[in-house]
């Protein structure tokens, strides 16, 4: 087997500007911190597209080999003639006679209709055109109370330790709450409940337990929710999208401290 | 809009037998605890399959409505004539003239080739036929050291707080390590590195930071790895699959305490 090629100029992390809020100290620090990057990695078998995995852009040869083996599509390393990386595309060339059963790709996790270069992915994100200009604002104490409320309601999480939660607060009142094994699903359920209840999402805050990737921020943008808060961390794609559509993105909201990544003007320190 | 139907007899949690290990107390307790359940929820628009989401089987109407709106496929509730739940299938019937653009389902996260009843899903899992009989065993202290090593190596996680890690230990020595925004990808990268290095996975331990769903356990099963350890929690499907294929599944491995869900005979208390 031969290995060729190289990654684009991508790293697993990128710098982001963060407003660090400390309610107790009544302080705001502005610093640069590293955040995780994700990019679509495309696996091709003999030039045919197999799957696109949203991934940290590192160890892409290992990703392709591990995916092919662990999903049962390839049994022996000897079947591979060549592994070639071009940007975030991984081209697997098989030896004559070797085969990959595409149907065994049972649990594909990101298959866009545009299947799948980084350019395609960015184009998909660019289609999200909402621009949120609502001046709706909350105080830092409001945010702390919302996160406490989310945690208190997360009963299935307390029972199992393996589940995400999401809630919608309309004018500071919790109007929808959901738990789900998937962070996307928890958000969808809370949004669905709000829609069925005719909640005014323009003056709402989305509070979740999960990481803020671009596809989660896209959901808030689609519903014109101006503020999105998470107990977990942000992903670089989520910060870039929040910036572009004008969403206030708050992460690591734990106790009296949290980080604001975009549009900090919607948060009053008191 | 009218709402009809009911869920199958599914709950968001299920009971599982747990061996609770405490290294400090040198004790093993056997108890029953609740774990999170996941099941494929299928959304159909006018009887046409749109997407399958691995989800907690609750609030399925909200999940469907939220997904359609938050992905930009539907703009107004008035477009919906009827919402009908049958088991874990959600049938959305649109009013005459209303349309859903299937191409806007940009970030589908689980699209199996068998698209997607619970029966199909269980059939997919049933195809994983590996039966691991290897008697390879480790001590509780070995496991604690492996988890400590994983945490120490997780540099991108320490920088960003938004990333998963996975490692392979062959005869107690860490031979592969990877970090990725996706827990599946982190496992694939560590497995890929092991394959490229010709590691004997039959006598290895997979140590990860992410939840143990069936699709993660399936990867270990496919590679005949006898022991899988996670810092996070298990999902019911992961426990059932680990039991069937004979993998020792260990979760909540934090400090001197952890839970063994299946095949505890591979862990010696000292």
Q: What is the CATH number of the domain that holds B227?
A: 3.40.140.10
Q: Which residues of B touch A62 (CB under 8 A)?
A: 178, 188-193, 196
A11 domain residue, yes or no = no
Query: Chain A within 8 Å of B74 (Cβ-Cβ)?
Result: no
A43 domain residue, yes or no = yes
For A26-56, write each residue's pLDDT tens digit.
Answer: 889 999 999 999 888 889 999 998 888 889 9
Note whether A43 and A67 are within 8 A (CB): yes
Identify the CA nearest to B169 among candidates B133, B209, B201, B135.
B201
Q: Tell if the CB–CB gap between A63 and B36 is shorter than 8 Å.
A: no
Q: Tell if the CB–CB gap between B66 and A110 is shorter than 8 Å.
A: no
Q: What is the pLDDT at residue A174?
A: 98
Query: Chain A within 8 Å of B120 (Cβ-Cβ)?
Result: no
Sign of CA dihedral B113, B119, B125, B129: negative
CA distance B172 to chain A (A): 21
The confidence band for A9, taking pLDDT boundaries of 50, 70 and 90, is low
- Tell me the CA distances in angstroms from B241 to A67, A176, B56, B218, B225, one per residue in order: 19, 34, 18, 7, 13
Q: What is the pLDDT at residue A88?
A: 87
Q: What is the pLDDT at residue B120?
A: 61
Q: What is the pLDDT at residue B53?
A: 86
Mean pLDDT of chain A: 90
B112 domain residue, yes or no = yes
Name which of B41, B109, B185 is nearest A63 (Cβ-Cβ): B185
The confidence band for A130, taking pLDDT boundaries of 50, 70 and 90, is confident
Window B:186-245, CB contacts with A under 8 Å: 187-193, 195-196, 211, 213, 215, 218-219, 222-223, 232-235
Q: What is the pLDDT at residue B14?
A: 94
Same domain for A185 and A244: yes
Same domain for B232 and B152: yes
Window A:146-185, CB contacts with B under 8 Å: 156, 159-163, 176, 178-182, 184-185
Name which of B38, B193, B213 is nearest A62 (Cβ-Cβ): B193
Does the structure show a pLDDT above 90 at B116? Answer: no
Window A:81-100, CB contacts with B under 8 Å: none
Q: Which one of A189, A228, A249 makes the best mutation probe of the B interface by having the most chain B beta carbons within 10 Å?
A: A189
The Cβ of residue B119 has, within 10 Å, a number of other Cβ atoms equal to: 11
B13 domain residue, yes or no = no
Single residue among B126, B155, B182 that ends a domain in this structure: B126
Single residue among A126, A150, A182 that ends a domain in this structure: A126
What does the pLDDT average to over B177-183? Answer: 95
Tokens of B185: 């990808």
Report the share of chain A in percent with pLDDT over 90: 71
Q: What is the pLDDT at residue B113?
A: 41
What does the pLDDT average to over B75-80? Answer: 93
Does the structure show a pLDDT above 50 at A252? Answer: yes
Q: What is the pLDDT at residue A49?
A: 86
The confidence band for A114, taking pLDDT boundaries of 50, 70 and 90, is very low
Same domain for B244 and B157: yes
The boundaries of the domain holding residue B113 are 39-126
Q: Which residues of A touch B82 (CB under 8 A)?
A: none
More confident residue, B50 or A191: A191
Q: What is the pLDDT at residue A5?
A: 73
Same domain for B193 and B154: yes
Does the structure show a pLDDT above 70 at B9? Answer: no
For B18-50, write each residue's pLDDT tens digit.
Answer: 999 999 998 899 999 999 998 888 899 999 988
Nearest CA in chain A to B122: A106
CA distance A120 to chain B (A): 11
Question: Reduced to 3 states, what is the DSSP secondary structure of residue A128?
Answer: coil
B131 domain residue, yes or no = no
Q: Tell if the CB–CB gap between B160 and A233 is shorter than 8 Å.
A: yes
Q: Tell if the CB–CB gap between B107 and A103 is shorter than 8 Å.
A: no
Q: What is the pLDDT at residue B247?
A: 97
> Tell me, what DSSP letter sits at residue A249?
E
Q: Which one of B61, B120, B185 makes the best mutation probe of the A interface by having the most chain A beta carbons within 10 Å?
A: B185
The Cα B244–Cα B167 span in angstroms is: 24
The Cα B219–Cα B152 span in angstroms is: 24
Single residue among B126, B148, B163 that ends a domain in this structure: B126
Q: What is the pLDDT at residue A106?
A: 61
Q: Give ipTM to 2 decimals.
A: 0.91
CATH of the domain at A59: 3.10.20.10
Question: Reduced to 3 states, what is the DSSP secondary structure of residue A129?
Answer: coil
A15 domain residue, yes or no = no
Task: Provide the number of structural domains found in chain B.
Answer: 2
Does the structure show a pLDDT above 50 at B115? Answer: no
B133 domain residue, yes or no = no
């Amino acid at each position: 087997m031969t290995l060729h090629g190289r990654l684009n100029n991508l790293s697993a992390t990128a710098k982001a500007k963060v407003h660090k809020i400390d309610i107790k100290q009544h302080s705001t620090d502005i610093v640069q911190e590293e955040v995780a990057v994700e990019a679509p990695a495309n696996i091709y078998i003999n030039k045919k597209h197999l799957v696109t995995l949203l991934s940290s852009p590192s160890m892409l040869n290992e990703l392709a080999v591990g995916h092919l083996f662990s999903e049962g599509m390839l049994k022996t390393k000897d079947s591979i003639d060549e592994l070639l990386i071009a940007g975030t595309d991984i081209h697997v060339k098989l030896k004559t006679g070797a085969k990959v059963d595409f149907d065994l790709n049972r649990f594909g996790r990101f298959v866009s209709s545009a299947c799948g270069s980084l350019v395609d992915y960015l184009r998909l994100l660019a289609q999200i055109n909402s621009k949120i200009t609502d001046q709706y604002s909350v105080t830092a104490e409001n945010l702390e109370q919302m996160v406490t409320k989310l945690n208190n309601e997360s009963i299935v999480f307390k029972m199992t330790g393996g589940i995400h939660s999401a809630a919608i607060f309309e004018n500071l009142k919790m109007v929808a709450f959901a738990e789900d094994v998937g962070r996307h699903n928890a958000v969808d359920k809370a949004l669905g409940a709000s829609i069925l209840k005719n909640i005014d999402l323009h003056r709402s805050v989305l509070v979740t337990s999960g990481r803020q990737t671009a596809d989660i921020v896209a959901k808030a943008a689609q519903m014109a929710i101006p503020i999105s808060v998470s107990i977990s961390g942000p992903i670089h794609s989520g910060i870039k999208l929040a910036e572009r559509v004008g969403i206030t993105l708050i992460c690591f909201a734990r106790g009296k401290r949290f980080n604001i990544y975009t549009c900090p003007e919607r948060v009053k320190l008191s």
